[in-house]
Structure formats: C-alpha cells, structure tokens
Amino acid sequence: MNRLELIFYLLLAGTAYGLFACEGPVGPKGDQGTQGTQGPAGAKGDQGETGPKGDKGDTGDPGVQGPAGPQGEPGSAGATFVGNDPCKVCHQAEHTSFSRSGHHLTLNLASDVAAQGNSFYPHGTAQAPPPGKQLSDFLYVLGGSGLRTLFVDPQGYLYTGQQAQFNVIPNAWVPYQASSQPGTVPLGDCAKCHTTGYDPNAVNKLPGLKGDWAHLGVQCEACHGPGSNHVKSPVRVKMVVDRSMEACGKCHQRQPHHEIQAEDGLMLSQQQYNALFSSKKANMRCTNCHDAHASTRHDAQQALTGKCTSCHIKETNSWDAYRQTSGMQQLSCVDCHMPRFGKSAQGDGSLLRGDMRVHLFAINTSPDAAQFSADGTKVMPYLTLKTACLNGACHGGQAGRDEKWAAAAAVKFHAR
C-alpha cells in the first residue's frame, strides 16, 4: 500500500469514528398514530379434545304446578243426531227395553198412529181420537203409551174441552183446559221435553209451536247427546251417561224446583224432582230405583231396580208379617207412601185423591201437620195422615176415624 492509500484509509476511519462518537440523545416519544385497519382473520385452529364429563348435579325442588289447561271438547262436540237405530247394533237389550217404554212415544204423528193401528204402541190398542173427532183432525198425538193422551191440532194448539184427554187410570175421557176456547192453548215449548234435539231458537211455521227438533219423542239421544261421533268411533268417543237426579229433573219438574205446587187441593203433575229435592231423599238419584230404559207401568220388575225392600229392610219384614193377619194383604208400600195425590187432569181435592202417584214418601204422623201452605198453593215436603190414610180411597169418611185416630194407629205401624 502506498502512502496515499494509507492516508485515505486513515481519514475514512476517522470520519466514521466521528459520526458514532458524535450521535445526539434520543428524542421524546411521538404521539401514537391512528390504528390501522384490522387484518384478515387467521385460519381456525384445530378443535381441542373433549374434556371429561362432570358429575351429575343434585335434583332441584319441583316447581309450582301450572294452571290447568282448557277443558277439551266433549265427545258430542260437532256431532249430529242419528236416531235410535244405530244404537241397537251394540245396545240390543237397552234398545229392546226402551222400545217398550213410553219415553220415545211422548210426541207422535197422528198419521203414524192412524196408519199403524194397534201395532203403533207396544201395549194395548191404538189410541182412539176424542169423541166426535178423527185422528186425521190432528197433527200430533201427545203420549198414549201408559198414562194419558192429548192431541195437537194442525196449527200446533192443544185440543181442549170436556173430553179432550184420555187417562189410562181410570180408563176414561176427562176434561183438559175445558174453559179455554179451541185453538188458544199452544203446545209452545212443551216440545222441549217431548222431543229430541230441541232447538228453542229455531223458527217453527206453526203458530202454536215454539222451536224445532231433530226427532219426535224422547229418544236415546235426548239423554245421551247426539251420537254421530260415537257411531263412527265407539271406543274413542264416549256418550253422555248422566245418572244425576238433575238429569231427569230437566223435564220432571216445575219451576221453581225448590217448591211443590198445588192446585185445587192436589199436587200438580210433573214435580217428581221438586218432591225429591224438598224431601229427606234429596241425596238419592232417580236411578237408585228406576231403570231409565224400562217402563214402570208395563215392565215393573225390570224398571224398578231398587225397591223399598232394598233399604227399608226392618220395616218391610215387620209389615209383611203384620199384613198377613190384618186383612191388608193387597196393600203395598206405595199405597201409603206414594198415594195418588197428584193431578194430571182429574181429581177431587176434597178427597185428596188425584190421578197420579207422588214422590213425597215420608209421612208426618202429627195429627196437626198441615199438608199445604196457608194460601193452598204449595205442598209441604211430606204426606200428612189425612193424605196418606184418610183420603178418598182408604179411611176417608169412616165413622170415628180422624187425624187423632190415625196418629194413634200410626205408632209403630210396621211392627203392629
């Protein structure tokens, strides 16, 4: 290396040394700049391994029960009336028994009665029209099977007069609304208890009628509800089976139901529910004694499912022993405890003797007991000795036999 090159390198090294040796102090930190935009997300990492299952926690206390949901629709919802014929496919015995009763014959076309003659009613002969009339003069025959018969004219009015109603007991024509002019007593809404599927709001073209119905008479569906859904699915859709006293009371009562109405010294008809409701037997059902499918008049052995002997065993045994030697073998429990104190069409209040048995049962043995309210419009919920013993069919009018005699005779009567 020559001298000039040596001098050059020495100068170059000194300059570099001076640059480093003379560097100044670090200045203050500047303000943070604005954040840049976020970069794209990185790729998702691999899923880690599942951790071990934890221990089962303790069962918590049961919560408060929520409110009940809405009640479901009954099986009869949306159903229609189908008549009695489908019922007999499965319920042959009930259908046969019911066909012999009077319920399904509570309202009939007069033309059917005339056309079928003696075969229309299951017992006895066909109902004859009132004296001087033909069945063709009427639109409907009301009843006719066992108790009584009334007639409805072509305009829907009940036939009235001195010989307008036929009573099976005493097998005679009797007056019905005799003071009323012909064509003035409407059948009205009486059809609600003489038909099936009654609709009070339906328009009836006959001036004497109110509402309309699906079938004449009290048929199966009058008590069990419309049956089309049950016929389609007998297992899944159940029919109504209401054995309460109120079910029968829908028709066998007068309003108000807690009173027993009287007229002319007798209890008015169709108050079986009123009488039971007001008595000590208010907790009983009609079905405790009655088979609703059978006729008490024509098939009593089947219809009376519970007899007096079923409950009143002591009284029955004592009475049976006594009457064998008393000359009263022909009397039964109903002669005293269900006398004909009711009036359908005919009776004599002075004799306390009507044409229908009543469901009062209990006998008040006080000689001072009153049978009626002070105004004579209400019946007390029992039978007095005068009604049960001193009526026109028994001891009424017999010398020396009054309420005091009856009271003395009634003491332990069943075991005398």
Q: Which pLDDT band holds residue 21 (cuts at 50, 70, 90)?
A: very low
Confidence check: pLDDT of 328 > 50: yes
For residues 86 and 344, the model is more confident at: 86
Q: What is the mean pLDDT of residues 308-326?
A: 86
Say what the pLDDT of residue 206 is.
Answer: 96
Place 332 in a pLDDT band, splitting at 50, 70 and 90: confident
Identify whether the C-beta of residue 403 lies closer than 8 Å to the C-beta of residue 390.
yes
Q: What is the mean pLDDT of the chain?
A: 88
SS (H, E, C) 56-114: CCCCCCCCCCCCCCCCCCCCCCCCCCCCCHHHHHCCHHHHHHHHCCCHHHCEEEHHHHH
For residue 11, what pLDDT is reported? 58
Given a contact cutoff of 8 angstroms between Cβ atoms, the answer to whether 348 and 392 are in contact is yes
Q: In what order do the strands lie in the sheet with 342-343?
A: 262-263, 266-268, 342-343
The Cα–Cα gap between 285 and 290 comes to 9
Q: Is 152 helix (H, G, I), strand (E, B) or coil?
A: strand
Cα 406 to chain center, whole Å?
Answer: 41
pLDDT score, position 72: 46
Question: Which contacts of 24-27 are long-range, i.e. CB under 8 A and separated by 24 or more positions?
Answer: none
For residue 401, the model assigns a pLDDT of 95
| CA-based nearest residue to 382, from 281, 250, 248, 302 | 281
Please tell me the distance from the alpha carbon of residue 395 to that of residue 328, in angstroms, as a whole number: 13
* Res. 224 pLDDT band, cuts 50 70 90: very high
Phi-psi region of 78 (alpha: psi -120 to 50; beta: other; left: phi over 0): left
Q: Are 392 and 266 in contact (CB under 8 A)?
A: no
Q: Are 122 and 298 in contact (CB under 8 A)?
A: yes
Between CA 325 and CA 318 the distance in angstroms is: 12
pLDDT grade, residue 323 (50/70/90)? confident
162 and 178 Cβ atoms separated by less than 8 Å: yes
**Rounded Cα distance, 356 and 379, in Å:** 15
Alpha-carbon distances of 123 from 118, 145, 165, 219, rounded to whole Å:
9, 7, 19, 18
With beta carbons less than 8 A apart as the criterion, state whether 165 and 175 touch: yes
pLDDT number for residue 89 = 95
- pLDDT tens digits for 153-176? 999 999 999 999 998 877 899 899
Average pLDDT over residues 236-251: 94
- Give the torsion sign (CA, 383, 353, 356, 409): positive
Phi/psi at 368 (nearest 5 deg)?
A: -100, 5
Q: Domain locations in the chain?
A: 85-241, 252-275+308-415
Q: How far is CA 414 from CA 56, 309, 398, 409, in A?
A: 76, 13, 22, 10
pTM above 0.75, yes or no: yes
pLDDT mean over 195-204: 96
Dihedral angle at the C-alpha atoms of 221, 256, 147, 190, nearest 10 degrees?
-60
- pLDDT digits 0-9 by tens, 96-108: 999 999 999 999 9
Helix (H, G, I), strand (E, B) or coil at 316: helix
Residue 69's pLDDT band, with cuts at 50, 70 and 90, is: low
Exposure on the CB side of residue 226, measured as CA atoms within 13 A? 16
Both tokens assigned to 60: 């918590």
